[in-house]
Structures are given as C-alpha cells and as structure tokens.
Structure 1
Amino acid sequence: MSEQKPLLVLVDGSSYLFRAYHALPPLTNSKGEATGALVGVINMLRKLIADYQPSNIGVVFDAPGKTFRNDLYAEYKANRPPMPDDLREQIKPLHEIIRAMGLPVIIESGVEADDVIGTLAAEATRDGVETVISTSDKDLAQLVSDHVTLVNTMSETKSDRQGVIDKFGVAPEQIIDYLALVGDTSDNIPGVPKCGPKTAAKWLSEFGDIDNLLANADSIKGKIGESLRASMEQIPLSRELTTIKTDVKLHESIPDLVATPADTQKLREWYRHIESNRLLATLDEEAGVADAETPEAEAPAELKYETILTQDDFERWLEKLSSAELICIDTETTSLDYMQAEIVGLSFSVEAGEACYIPVAHNYPGAPDQLDREMVLTTLKPLLEDANIAKVGQHLKYDMNILANAGINLQGVAYDTMLESYVFNSTATRHDMDSLAQTYLNLKTIKYEEVAGKGAKQLTFDQVPLEQAAPYAAEDADITLRLHQAIWPKLSAESGPKSVFETIEIPLVPVLSRIECTGVRIDSAMLVKQSGELATRMHKLEEQAYEIAGRSFNMGSPKQIGQIFFEELELPVISKTPKGAPSTAESVLQELAEQGHELPQVILSHRGLAKLRSTYTDKLPEMVDPDTGRVHTSYHQAVAATGRLSSSDPNLQNIPVRTEEGRRIRQAFVPEDGYRMVAADYSQVELRIMAHLSGDKALMGAFSDNMDVHRATAAEVFGVTLDEVTPDQRRSAKAINFGLIYGMSAFGLAKQLGVERSVAQEYVDLYFERYPGVREFMDSIRADAHQNGYVETVFGRRLYLPEINSRNGMRRAASERTAINAPMQGTAADIIKLAMLDVDGWIRNDKPDVRMIMQVHDELVFEVAEGQLDSAVEQISSRMSQAAELKVPLVVDVGIGDNWDEAH
C-alpha cells in the first residue's frame, strides 16, 4: 500500500464566515444570540476534513484593523458596509470553537487572510507539498498552479489550472491583471471603467499582460479605448492592490499546521451554548456514545485531595503554589462575621481534581496535631500578597477580609467565579458555589450542613472532625477552579460582559473590602433614645387603632385585621388570597389608605415604625464591632440583576430618606472626632442616562443648559413658560419623567397622580410629542430585547430577560418594562462603581486623610479630616462627574455635615 502524499489544506475562514452567514437563515439560541454562521462554518469544516483528510491544515482569518493596502490606497474597501452586529458577535466564538476542534487558527495583523494563504501555499510548493485552498474568493485564483487547487465547499466545485481558464477565460498567472482591469466594487478597486470580464479576458488573450496592453493602448478603439487610456495612471495601483503577497513573515510554518485532538468537553459546552443538538449528536457518535446526556464538564477520573499536617507536605505544596500560573484559594473560618471570624484552615487548588486543605485551628477532642497557624500564615503571606501570581476564588471578598484581619493584603485577584457567573448571566442561576456546580458542572457538592449539622446544634468549623472537614474544604477549592475553567471561556467570548468583569467588577472587590473593613461610626446612645421614642409613638398608634376599631386586637395578625376590616368595618375587599380570603397585604392597606380609610393608615404607620425600630434603632447598637467600635456592612455584587450593589448585616440602603424617622436614624451615623461627613450624590443620573441613550434633543438640551428638568418637562407638557410652571405641574412632570423610564403605563401614572386615566394618557402623549427621541428609544430597546433576549448598559453589561417572549401577557409586559429601565439602572450602577474605583485610586495614591465608608444607591459617603475638606470635596466631585462620558453632564451634589443626614 502506497504512503499517502502530504496534503496541506488552507481554509479561507473569512470567506467561510460570510458565506455561511448569508447562506443560512438567521439562527439564534434561546438567549437571542446569533448562531447561524457558527453552525454553517462548523459543518463546512467537518465536511472538508472528511473529504480531504489533510496531513496539515490551517484556518486563516482576517485580522481586525487596516492592512498595507489601506496605506497604498486610502479608499481601499471604503464603500464596504460595516459588518452586521449579529455576524460580528459570532467571530470570537467561532475562533474558540475551531481551536477546540483541534484546528490551527491563523490571524496576522497588517495583511489580509489572502496574503497569509498565498505565503503558506508558496512555502508548501517549495517543500513539495500539495495544497488545497478552500474558499469562494475569486482573488485566490491567482495562486492556482500544478500544486495548488481551489475548492468551494458550498458549490462543491474545484478549480485547477484548467478550471481557472474555463471560469475566467485567462490563466492563473493572468488573474492579477484580469482583476486590475475589471476592478472590484466591494473592495473599491477602481479598474478600467466599462471594462467587464469578457473585455479583460479578450485583452489579456491578445496582449498577454497589462504591460503589453498599456504599451498598445492607442490601438484600442472606441469608448472603451478612451476609458483604458484615461485609467493608465491608476492601473498599476489597481494591480498592486489585487496582488496577493507570498512573502509575508508569519509566526507559523507548514510543520506547525497540524490538527490536534479535539477538546470534546469545550466543544460540548459550545454546542450546548449554541443549542445545536445535531452537532452534539456528532460528538456522541464519534465517541461511540448512544445517549447524549454527558455532563457539562466531566469530573477528573480520580480526585486527589490532601490534608496537610506535616512541614514536608506543606513545603511541597508551597513549591507547587509558587510555580502555578493560577491559584485557587478558599478559607475556612469560625464565623460568617468577617470582622470577628478566625481562620481554621486554608484550601488550595492549581489543577482540576487536585486540592489540599491545611488545617490550623481544628479544636475538638482527639483532633490531630496541626501546623502552627502563625507559621502557615507568615509563610504564605509573600505568595498571597504577590500581585503577579493570579488568584481565583468563590466570593473572594470574604476571604480578602478574613486575610486582612490576619495582616495579609491579598493581591493578584484575577477571577471570582461568583462574579464570572453573575456578569455572564445574572438571572440564569443563583451564584453560590453549590448552585454554580450544579449548573455548569452538573455536580452535586458537599453541603456545609452535611459536615457541620443544622440549626442550634450546628458546629463551628473548628469543631468539625478533619475526616469530614478536609474533603469539604478541599472540594471547595477544586470545584471553584473547575467552575472558573467552565465559565471563563463563555464569559471571555462576550466582549461587553468580559470588559465589565475586567474593568468594573473584579477591580471593585478590593475597594469594597476596604469600605467594609473601615466601617461606619454610629452614635449608639442616640439610637437607643430613638428606640424609646419610637416605642412611645407605636403605643399611641395602637391606642388610636383600638379606638377606631372599637376594640383591642393584635396589629400583627392578618386574620384579626381581616375580621375588623371586612366584617366589622365593612371596608371594600381589594383582592383575595389564594384560599379566597380577603387580603390584608401591604399593597391592599396602601390602597385602602389612599381611599381615605383611617385604620389602614394607622396600621401602615405602626408597621413602618416597628420596622425601623427592629431593623435599625434596636439592632444597630448590637452590631457595633467590639474591636473597631464601628458597624461593618457587607456589600453584595452578585444579587441585583441590574448591577446595583446591595448591602446586608446591616442593610444601609433601605434607611428611609424622605421620612423624619429615617432622617433621624441617619443623624446617628457620625464621623470620628476631627472629621466631617461628606456625602456625594449623583443628580437625576437615570434621567441623564435616558437623555444620553435616546439622544432626544429637547431632553439633552434641558440637562446641557443646567435647567430644572422636571420644570422643563412641565413647561413642555403643559405648554407654559418655565416661570409659569406651578408646583403641582412640576410634581406631575417629575412623576412622568421617572414613571416612564420605569416603563409605567398611563394607568399607573393616573394612579400615582390621582387623575383620570384619560388625563394621564394625555400627559404621556404630550410628553412623547415633546420628547420624540425618548419614544423612539423605548420602541427600539423593546424590539432589541425581543430579538436578542437581553439589553445592555452603556458599558456592555448584559441584562437577560428570560420572559421577554413569554406567552403570558403580564409577564411579557413586565419584561418589557424592565427592558426599558434596566439599561438606565444598570448604567447608573456601572457609573458609580467606576467612580468608586477612581476615588479609591486617588485615596490610595495621594493618601489624603479621607475614608470611603458607604455606598447607597447613587451616593458615596466619606469621612474627611476637617483640614482637608475643600480639596477632598473638589477631588470627589470632579472624579465622580468624570466617571463616564455622556452626551449630557454628570452632576454631583456634595454636602458636608456632622452626621450623614446633615451631609445628605
């Protein structure tokens, strides 16, 4: 049997991409992401490989940016329309998939794919290797020779030397001159006006080449002769533009272009992502699997988890960690309270399926001897503080705080699986490790309750026996590393979300850690006094309620309230519970109160005071850290779908600002002696973002001219001058401005303003008449949401809307309202995060006596030394207002006070 001759297959990937895009219907997955070109190219490549079984192969793509041809001729490809967005978004995923197929991908900047193919084909010919170029690009016909053939997998046609002659009427060596004469409208190559393919072939048949043709140009008669002679100066340029280079200095040569085994795990992930069951089936067929239920990411064949109890084992792992490109780290502690928790052990992983747990403080009868905690932490400190050694973890901010209390400044935080999942798709799943493992790895992990118990009998981790503790802790590190390996390729394939992760969310982790560890000072005595006053007021409200009802009752009992409301006082039933009883939900009480019924008003007031007392005035003094004397909240990056931060233990973002009681609680937030509170708040930021996104001239003009936008809207809607706007008209305009950006209907607006629905509809119609750009934006964002399944912020944060195409009208309408508001709320969240990054950088670099202590919605709160107030206010205001470049100014209101309320 004769040995198969070496064969090089060069794939014009850019040609494949465009042909697949235009040949196939606009396929999308359930998230609305375009997939048609991906499926088409994958199938074409699979068929090509099956047909030719090449010894060497390379898939060549055009690099982004200009090439040397643009330097030769500024108008080169100038008329070509921009690439459709739904095609552009498929390019990076396609590169990833082709690499996962084991095929070399070649992209060289400064030249085109044709030039790379030409250079490799020339090299192959010199080496005696036959070459097949798979393309639909006519320009590549100039490369055809006795050793180079073109194939078009779409039309299933081949072009050898005779094939080129049959198709174009000229030989391959004449193709350059042929193209120079005919020109190319898609590439904007001039050519000779009125010279078509037949004329060019005729001239080259008669004269051989362009040089001889031009030498005999005077012999060409008629209008076409005039065109030729008029084009003589530009023809050499056209010829140079159409000439494919065969001498490009490449990073790859023929021996490098060898297919490697496919990464079936990555391919399976991608095929599931693009939702191609057919391609998934091909993987299973090739693997000999009958059932396509392979897990998302298969577990390593054998888990290697170690418990480190000796110095030798510790040093062995220390060496492994020191040489690793990426370290996964997790801490085990005595408590979730990051200010008081003590380190019980640390777990690490650098390779999937392998992990170690280093216990340092397990303390129970019969516990084995463990390495000294101080020694372990001191030894690990240089490694953990090395910014050049990349770290990954799950909710690393907690570990960062824990290590900070131990004197270790964790640096090199490159990835966080919680944030990777959140930025990739904030609504797809919860972002805790157990949920992520189930979603992305199809694995069930060891739950904390399984090793520590539940409820009142739950052990702290230092009491958990090592036999159970070590596998649990080591698994945490291993699973987190594997989650990163599963999620990061998906996230990094999306340029917008990847940018949000790398430029906003990950850099924010240490900033939030510093804010949390700094904490905020409160006046506990003032809060205790307020609690007593609230209790007195609540007692008076109870007496008032009993008097209205005619008897005493439990104000926290829905059953007793329902009996008094609907049986004894005969109040109207607004809605019913699922079991058919009249509802006493808060929304019902609010509606009854708005109708003028006194008892619901009193009960709502009582509930409001009770909530303030239990959540803040009673609780905050109990939450003061005994070591710092301050309250330390936890900020959460992966909770609100829009990107907003939330806080808990305590929640500092829900303290009312519009009520007297809420403002009094804020008065108990006080600075350290010698400092003042500074509060910096973005003014009407979401409306400004609406002006930016919609580009509405009138709305932009109001902000650019620094007008009161609500007064300006009132003047527009009610047809009066600014001076004539009444307080009621401004209030209505404010409701319209904010209501519409939240997708509020005329019905909702009527309810809020207390007017007839028809009147509210007139307001809405007038608003859109005066601000037509806003309506156009809302219509377009709704359409985009329906098509794509998501909307995006200015910075590329993606907000998925799973029910945007729901058959349930109410759910669909709710998603449409979210689609309108989410880009504004999400962009506002991104802006304040960017501001926090900039301000924190200034504080760390210039080291002013300034502490960033709270973030609440669109507001940042600081403690500033009294002697630095002026310069600090200037820096804070300037940096916050320049956090983003919008079409309208970002305005920051800054206040100074002896407490948070005064500063706000």
Structure 2
Amino acid sequence: MSKLLLVDGSSYLFRAFHAMPDLRNKAGEPTGALRGVLNMLAPLKASTGATHAVCVFDAKGKTFRADWYPEYKAHRPPMPEDLAAQIEPIHTCVKAMGWPVIVEAGVEADDVIGTLARQAAARGFEVLISTGDKDMAQLVQPGITLINTMTNETLDREGVIAKFGVPPERIVDYLTLVGDAVDNVPGVEKCGPKTAVKWLTEYDSLDAIVANAASIKGVVGENLRRALDFLPLGRRLVTIVCDVPLAESLDELTWRTPDNAVLAEQFARWEFRSLLKAVQGNADSTTDAPAASAASAAGQSGLFGAEELPVPVERSAAHREAYECLLTWEAFDQWFAKINAAALTAFDTETDSLDPFDARLVGMSFSVTPGEAAYLPLAHRAPGTPDQLPLDEVLARLRPWLEDAGKPKLGQNLKYDMHVLANHGIRLRGVQDDTLLESAAWESDRNHDLDSLASRHTDLATLSYTDICGKGAKAISFADVALENATAYGAEDADVTLRVHHKLSPLIAAEPGLRRVYRDIELPVQEVLWAMERQGVLIDADLLARQSDELGRKLLELEQQAYEAAGQPFNLNSPKQLGEILFERQKLPVVKKTPGGAPSTDEEVLAQLALDYPLPRLLLEYRGFAKLKNTYTDKLPRMVNAQTGRVHTSFSQTGAITGRLASSDPNLQNIPVRTPEGRRIRQAFIAPAGYSIVSADYSQIELRIMAHLSGDERLLQAFAQGEDVHRATAAEVFGIATAEVTSEQRRYAKTINFGLIYGMSAHGLAKSLEIERSAAQSWIDRYFARYPGVARYMEETRALARNKGYVETVFGRRLILPEIKSSNAGRRQGAERAAINAPMQGTAADLVKMAMRRVYDWLGTERLESRLLLQVHDELILEVPAAELDIVRQKLPQLMAGVAELKVPLLAEVGVGANWDEAH
C-alpha cells in the first residue's frame, strides 16, 4: 500500500527553535533550529516506511483567514530574528535531503496538509501526519493518523477521543468553544476543555449547543450567549480547509535522491561536523533514503540524541599525508631529536583502556610543527601488524625527556596521560599547556573535547575514536586497530592539538584575566588533582556493608508502609504504576505532566504532594534511602582498586562554566548530608592506622564574595567585625537588635542570604520558608533596603551580562551566558540568575583551586607525609600522620585564608577525626 508522510515543517521549526539550546557556529550565527529540524526529520523515512512524503512550511505574509478576521494572529510577536535567519537554510537542507517541500503563499501549512491528506486518503493511501499541532486532530479519519515525534504519541480515532474527550469530527466544535489563544481566536469565555467536552457529550454538536444556549445556566452560560454572534466565524477560522488548489500532485511527492554536494556545502557552512562526515562518507552512495547519511549521524534517539556516524578510515584527508609511523630506531631517533630540541611538543598517548588506572600504552604521538606528526606504535596486535619497537626500550629512551621539567609539553587532557605514564613508572613533567584547559578558559560554555575543538578552530574533518574503534558491542580495543588507521588517528591527535593551541594561546594571552585564570589557577591545579586521584581515599567496606543492610531493612519497611497507604502492593520504582496509584486511584492533584502527557511523579512533584498526603512522603523517603544504598553503600566497596586498596575518584576541571570541580567514578561531591543516613556514609571514609582525616572548610565563602563584589557597607562591616552574618541580616530585616534575634529568625535570614545570591524569587522564598508570597516579597524588599549595595550589584551585573554576554569572577574567569538575550523568557531569566550567582560560585572555585595548589606546594616543600585526598565544594580533606597533625592544623587555615586579599577577611575552619564525618 502507498503511504504518504506529511510533515508540518512550521511546527517542527518552532519546536526545534524553542527546544534546542542557543547553538551557533564560529561566526556567531544561530544554528539550533536548523540542527533540531534535521535531527527530527532524519529518521522518519526509515521509521515510517513511507513511499511518498512532503514537508510543508508556512509562507511569509497574511493568509485568507486574515481577510475573514483582521485580528487573526494579530497579537503574535514577530518571528525571533535568530529563527528567521534559519528559515532559508532549513528549506535548502530539507530539499537537499530528498524531501519534497511545499511553501504555498496565501494559505497555511495546515490547509496544504489537510488538502493532501484528504486527496491521498480518497485514493487509498495510508496517511501519516507528523505534527505537534492539536488543530490537526480534526483531520483524523480511517486511513489518516497523527504522529508526534517529540512525545512518541500516535493519534487515531481512539487516540483523539482519549486525548480530547471528543471524536475527530467534533474537534472543530471543541476548538470553537475553547478558542485558540495562539491564533487570537476567542472562544467562549471561561469555557475550558472540561466544559467543552461536557457540553459536546450532552448536546452532541456545536449547533445543538447553540440551539440550547438559553437553557445553559451559570456564568459560563451567559458567556456562551454573548459569544453566539462570533461562533460561526470562530468555527470557520479553526476549520482546516481541505480543498486548496495546489501546483503539486500526489504522484510528484516521492522521495528524491539526496543532493550530497549541497548537503556537504550546507553542513560545512553551519559546522555540523557529524552530518558533514556522514555526507562525505556517502558521497558516492546510491542510497535511496532521503537522508540515509544524515539519519545515521542524527540517530534515532530524539532531538538531543545525535550520535557520531562511523566514517570509513579510507576517506583520508590531505592533512594526514605528512604523518609518519615510527617502526625503526632510525625513524625514532630522527623524531626524538626533533622533540628534544623543540620549544614545545604536542604529545598524546593511545591506550587499551579509558580507565586511567588500568590503561597501558599502545602507542604515542608527537608533533612540533603544524601539519607534521608521528605515531609511535608500541603494542598493536592486529593480524599482519609489522614488528614494533620494544616498549621497555622505547620508554627507557623517552624517560629523560618525559620527566624533564625543562622540556615543554602540550597535550589535550594531559592529566589522563600522566596517569598512563605513571602506570609504567614514569612521572610526566614539563606540562606547559593543555588545550582542554585553554578551551575551558576561553569558551567556558562550549564542548572541550578535541573533535569539537578541531571543528571550531582548525576547519579539519578529524577522525573520532568511534571512527577507528567503533562503538557498542562491536567496538574493538585500540590495540587491535591496524597501524595505518592508528597512525592516521594518533598522529592527527597530536597535530590537531598543536594547531588548536596556536589558535587559542594568543587569544588567551591578549586577555589578562583569562591568562591569569589559565596560567595561575587551572594549569597549576592540574598536577594537584592528578596527585589526589593517584592517592585515593581509604574506605571501611565492612561499615558500608552494615549500613547497606540497615538501609535494605528500612526500604522493606517503607515498602510495606507504602503498600498500606496505597491499599495494594505495587512497584515503587515504576512511574506508570505509581501514576495509576496516585492520580487514578487516590485522585491526587496532577502537579505537572511528562513530555508524553502522563502525570509526572518526579521528586519535585512528590515533594509538593508530600506536604498534604502520606504516600508521596513515604515514596520520597524510599527514594532517598534507595539512592544512598544503590549509589554509595552498595557501590563504593566494589570500586576499591585491587592494587591500592583505595577508591580513586576522577576530578574534572571543565564540568561547569563556573570553574567548580566535578567528581566522578565515584562522585564524592554529592553525598547527601541532610539526613543522618547520608551523613553516616562519610563515616566510611577513614584514615589508616596512625593517621587522621583533616577537613578544612571556607566559612560562608560565597557571602563573603558577595560582600566583596557588591561593596555593601553593612555586609562589609558585619564580616570585618566577625559578626554572625545571618544573625546580622535577621536583625536588619526584622528591625530588631542582634541580641533579640531568635533561632527561627536566623534561619529565615540564612535562607534569604543564600537564596538571593542564587537568584531566588519571592515565589521561591515563600515556598522554601512555607510562608505567603506577599510576606516573602516584603522581606526581600526590606533586605534590599537594608543592603542597597547588594541590590545595586545585582542590577549592574544583569546589565553587564546583557551588554557583554558574560560576567567575570574576581580573578578574571569569564562565565559566558549564551541565553542572556534569548527570546525564551524562561531561559533568559535563568541566564540572569546565573549572571548574579556565577561570579560568586566562580570566585569561590578559583579560591579553592588556588588554596589547593598552595597547600600542595607547602606539603612538598616541607617534605611532609600529609596528602590531599578530596575537594568537595569549599572543603579540602587531607590524610595526616599523627606526628604532623599539630603543624597541619595550624598552617592549613592560614594558607587558605591568605590565598587572596578581598575586601573582607577569608576564614577557614579545621576539623580532625578518624573519619570524614568526625572531621567535618
């Protein structure tokens, strides 16, 4: 059977524009809507099996409905400039992908789709309409179905009835009654979906409702009677016209051969690297899919699920022609002479594992001149691999250079390479630059992986790891990669790293603040993080096992209590079953819905419902205990390294634009500490015999930074005099003496202090303190009246962010805010909140990193056995032998407080214990 796929292109482009982040190419041109539309379109042919297809877009200008009703869509704001700029590229790319495209002047896309749908259905076609527009439900009939790719929703006749409460033939009546605010079509005032469904169920049709208008009681009945004169026009406006004359016939709407030349030009123009690779890799293909190449690259997983397409390695690029594979000692010696004499050498390792503690060398690559690079294979084992230079001898010759701090080295994420070499007994020194950290300093809001950097800064189509090794179940180890492919990939890494450095280095050097952040903060702390990761932390596995058993028993108890509260057993981990219990059986109010339209059961919803109902409260408690058990008490013992007997986390310097460190595998920065059970997990982080855990924590660091940045006289005075700043705030806000402040008032003031620096609104404060919004607004107003410098700082910072597109920390870290001018109000307001908070978070992150380096250097200079173990938020955790405990307790707060001079004194507090919980 013939199948016609009708895509509501205008619906797609608006949804993509508002759903995607503010993506741009290097020229600053918006690309998010274009990428989103292509990503949504790419998998449709394969998933629908359509024989015919067309993508329909609205044309510019008014339509015939504006002649019927001048107010039609009159209140709509003009299309955002960033979206308007992407319309033509979207049309060009969609056509080049092989889609027929219709843009019919004077009519709406809905009318074109309706006309084609009815024509096709009359000829026996199966018709699929891909849209998110509810108006299209009126088109559903036998043979015509709606699909929504964003929510995976399919609407046939039964689906329409289930969703709207009325059948497709009554959707026009339904829309006439409720109106359409988007198109400025008024319905009956106060007549919402429930009332419309009720009337249509009782009277069957709009005509019958009108005939019985006099008997419908209440305010809504009066509103109906007032609307009677407009209803005929309203019905006409919301009815899709299904007989508009079209130049295109159904027989013409078949898939076209993709124009790979145009696609390649467009994908290069808009810097869609994975799509460009796919097109280039299929340039000679005779594939009949409209976007077979792009579909594979875009993936099947939704708007944000784009995947890299494996690209044949044989499609080599010209820049790889100067790459050399070092298989003889003569070739090795020539390159060794180059790197030994070079002012800077780009260096990279290839390994058999991504785990830094398990990884062993497979090869190394070097580059000293852009465009020239060498790959040194050491442990490849693919069939037919020629003899390689012996690993031990190569490392013996390279060791002096690798460990020489006077031989400058460049890499991409060299902390990983430091671990790899340490696995072979080599301590890498001489790290002068790292492109990962350069990118994080220069463009904090972008991706910092090497492929992304190459795409942005070199215009090279580089090979990705999956190009070489594949992915998923079919992935191979790099040790099994053929030398030709390994050389192309490995040498390219070194070459591209050098090229990216040559682009970023002068940009950073020209900005004193960024240069300071990169040179004085990020590069120095990289070695500290490597040492902390290498050291690891000792845990008490037996204690965790006991805690896990206790949590397991509590979970069983909570499960039984939940069954009793629900009146039946059910799967507490099933959102579907939970939704049925909460909203269908217990009739709890629906707070919000998932993208698929089901009532949400996420933590925010449960927390709100828990204020009034017992079952959500039990479920929240259950989830909290389950997270502790699954994430920590069960998992941590399994992560103990067999060789060291310790747990080794990984710290990332690029996980947040604020510069805060992130911890992973395991994440030791997010252990919940608000419950006794969460705090007890820290008891399992222990010191070995003869040692103690020492914790040093900055006191109220972000509030101190707020005082420094705002220059508010009252805040500065409070910190200078060593006052309890929350008590002082309470005294100011409540208009009482400091001595009269109660503990409850101090708690309120603390919430206000921290809430405002995170951009909390009156609504958020009211919710947090469980008070009326008017009271919360009154307190905020009084706060700003008492601390005018804070109010001034916030307003000036918002204005600065809007003007520059970024804000800065005290030390010059640039915190880029791409959404600060977004046409989406929610995103723009979020960016404004971030503009206020980011300088404080970022400055705190800078201070902690500077303190880490100072403490690390002091421990080394004094030749102490004490070691830094962890960094969590504003806290440093050390392992200290008994003989050094006094000097560390004395010196540590001095080092941390003296790392920088602000307008207020910095204060670090130290605790000591046998475990982390005791020390903290």
TM-score tier, shorter chain, comes to 0.5 to 0.7
Q: Does 1:425 align with 2:433?
A: no
The answer to whether the Cα contact below 8 Å between 1:518 and 1:632 also exists between their aligned partners in 2 is yes
CA positional deviation for 1:394: 0.6
Name the counterpart of 1:723: 739
Map 1:272-671 onto structure 2 (within 5 A).
303-427=321-445, 429-593=446-610, 595-671=611-687
Name the counterpart of 2:761: 745
Q: Deviations for 1:69-93, whole angstroms, at most 9, x for unmatched residues?
A: xxxxxxxxxxxxxxxxxxxxxxxxx
Q: Does 1:712 align with 2:741?
A: no
Structure 2 Cα separation of the partners of residues 580 and 334 of structure 1:
45
Name the counterpart of 2:773: 757
Structure 2 Cα separation of the partners of residues 515 and 673 of structure 1:
20
Map 1:57-68 onto structure 2 (within 5 A).
none
The answer to whether the Cα contact below 8 Å between 1:850 and 1:864 also exists between their aligned partners in 2 is yes
CA positional deviation for 1:523: 0.8
Q: Deviations for 1:204-242, whole angstroms, at most 9, x for unmatched residues?
A: xxxxxxxxxxxxxxxxxxxxxxxxxxxxxxxxxxxxxxx
Q: Deviations for 1:702-755, whole angstroms, at most 9, x for unmatched residues?
A: 111111111111011111112211111111000000000011111111111111
Map 1:70-89 onto structure 2 (within 5 A).
none
| SS of residue in 1 equivalent to 2:609 | helix
Q: Deviations for 1:11-41, whole angstroms, at most 9, x for unmatched residues?
A: xxxxxxxxxxxxxxxxxx979xxxxxxxxxx
Q: Does 1:866 align with 2:870?
A: no
CA 1:482–1:665 in 2, change beyond 3 Å: closer, same or farther? same
CA positional deviation for 1:300: 7.2
The answer to whether the Cα contact below 8 Å between 2:708 and 2:903 also exists between their aligned partners in 1 is yes
Q: Deviations for 1:151-174, whole angstroms, at most 9, x for unmatched residues?
A: xxxxxxxxxxxxxxxxxxxxxxxx
The answer to whether the Cα contact below 8 Å between 2:320 and 2:488 also exists between their aligned partners in 1 is no
Q: Deviations for 1:803-848, whole angstroms, at most 9, x for unmatched residues?
A: 1122222211111110000000000000000001111110111111
Q: Which amino acid aligns with 2:703?
A: L
Structure 2 Cα separation of the partners of residues 800 and 580 of structure 1:
34
Q: Which amino acid aligns with 1:325?
A: A
CA positional deviation for 1:580: 2.4
CA positional deviation for 1:368: 2.2
CA positional deviation for 1:469: 1.8
Structure 2 Cα separation of the partners of residues 487 and 863 of structure 1:
38
The answer to whether the Cα contact below 8 Å between 2:668 and 2:872 also exists between their aligned partners in 1 is yes
Name the counterpart of 1:808: 824
CA 1:348–1:306 in 2, change beyond 3 Å: closer, same or farther? same
CA positional deviation for 1:365: 3.9
Structure 1 Cα separation of the partners of residues 783 and 657 of structure 2:
29
CA 1:687–1:592 in 2, change beyond 3 Å: closer, same or farther? same
Q: Deviations for 1:171-219, whole angstroms, at most 9, x for unmatched residues?
A: xxxxxxxxxxxxxxxxxxxxxxxxxxxxxxxxxxxxxxxxxxxxxxxxx
| SS of residue in 2 equivalent to 1:476 | helix
Structure 1 Cα separation of the partners of residues 870 and 570 of structure 2:
41
CA positional deviation for 1:303: 3.0
| SS of residue in 1 equivalent to 2:656 | coil
Structure 2 Cα separation of the partners of residues 868 and 387 of structure 1:
29
Structure 1 Cα separation of the partners of residues 848 and 685 of structure 2:
22
The answer to whether the Cα contact below 8 Å between 1:637 and 1:644 also exists between their aligned partners in 2 is yes
The answer to whether the Cα contact below 8 Å between 2:320 and 2:492 also exists between their aligned partners in 1 is no
Structure 2 Cα separation of the partners of residues 465 and 331 of structure 1:
16
Map 1:177-256 onto structure 2 (within 5 A).
none
Out of 677, 689, 710, the position equivalent to 2:693 is: 677
CA positional deviation for 1:442: 2.6
CA 1:300–1:843 in 2, change beyond 3 Å: closer, same or farther? farther
Name the counterpart of 2:789: 773
Structure 2 Cα separation of the partners of residues 619 and 580 of structure 1:
34
The answer to whether the Cα contact below 8 Å between 2:652 and 2:662 also exists between their aligned partners in 1 is yes
Structure 1 Cα separation of the partners of residues 742 and 28 of structure 2:
49
Structure 1 Cα separation of the partners of residues 562 and 453 of structure 2:
49
Task: Give the TM-score of the pair, scaled to structure 2.
Answer: 0.65
The answer to whether the Cα contact below 8 Å between 1:300 and 1:353 also exists between their aligned partners in 2 is no
Structure 1 Cα separation of the partners of residues 867 and 534 of structure 2:
11
Structure 2 runs not aligned, ≥5 long: 1-26, 30-269, 271-316
Structure 2 Cα separation of the partners of residues 761 and 804 of structure 1:
25
Q: Does 1:794 align with 2:842?
A: no
Name the counterpart of 2:33: none
CA positional deviation for 1:576: 1.6
Structure 2 Cα separation of the partners of residues 662 and 654 of structure 1:
10
The answer to whether the Cα contact below 8 Å between 1:300 and 1:352 also exists between their aligned partners in 2 is no
Name the counterpart of 1:111: none
CA 1:536–1:879 in 2, change beyond 3 Å: closer, same or farther? same
> How many residues matched?
610
The answer to whether the Cα contact below 8 Å between 2:718 and 2:724 also exists between their aligned partners in 1 is yes
| SS of residue in 1 equivalent to 2:376 | strand
| SS of residue in 2 equivalent to 1:766 | helix
Q: Which amino acid aligns with 2:341?
A: S
Structure 2 Cα separation of the partners of residues 521 and 302 of structure 1:
46
Name the counterpart of 2:718: 702
CA 1:655–1:528 in 2, change beyond 3 Å: closer, same or farther? same
Structure 2 Cα separation of the partners of residues 431 and 663 of structure 1:
35
CA 1:301–1:675 in 2, change beyond 3 Å: closer, same or farther? closer
Name the counterpart of 1:12: none
Identity percentage over the alignment?
A: 56
Structure 1 runs not aligned, ≥5 long: 1-28, 32-271, 273-298
Name the counterpart of 2:305: none
The answer to whether the Cα contact below 8 Å between 1:677 and 1:898 also exists between their aligned partners in 2 is yes
The answer to whether the Cα contact below 8 Å between 1:334 and 1:342 also exists between their aligned partners in 2 is yes
Structure 1 Cα separation of the partners of residues 474 and 621 of structure 2:
39
Q: Which amino acid aligns with 1:863?
A: E
- Segments of 4+ moved more than 4 angstroms: 299-302
Structure 1 Cα separation of the partners of residues 575 and 885 of structure 2:
51
Q: Deviations for 1:622-680, whole angstroms, at most 9, x for unmatched residues?
A: 11111111111110001111000001001010011221112111101011211100000
The answer to whether the Cα contact below 8 Å between 1:555 and 1:561 also exists between their aligned partners in 2 is yes
Structure 1 Cα separation of the partners of residues 576 and 672 of structure 2:
29
CA positional deviation for 1:764: 0.5
| SS of residue in 2 equivalent to 1:872 | helix
Task: Give the TM-score of the pair, scaled to structure 1.
Answer: 0.66
CA 1:788–1:372 in 2, change beyond 3 Å: closer, same or farther? same
Structure 2 Cα separation of the partners of residues 676 and 473 of structure 1:
44
Name the counterpart of 2:833: 817
| SS of residue in 1 equivalent to 2:909 | strand
| SS of residue in 1 equivalent to 2:746 | helix
Structure 1 Cα separation of the partners of residues 760 and 590 of structure 2:
25
Q: Does 1:687 align with 2:703?
A: yes
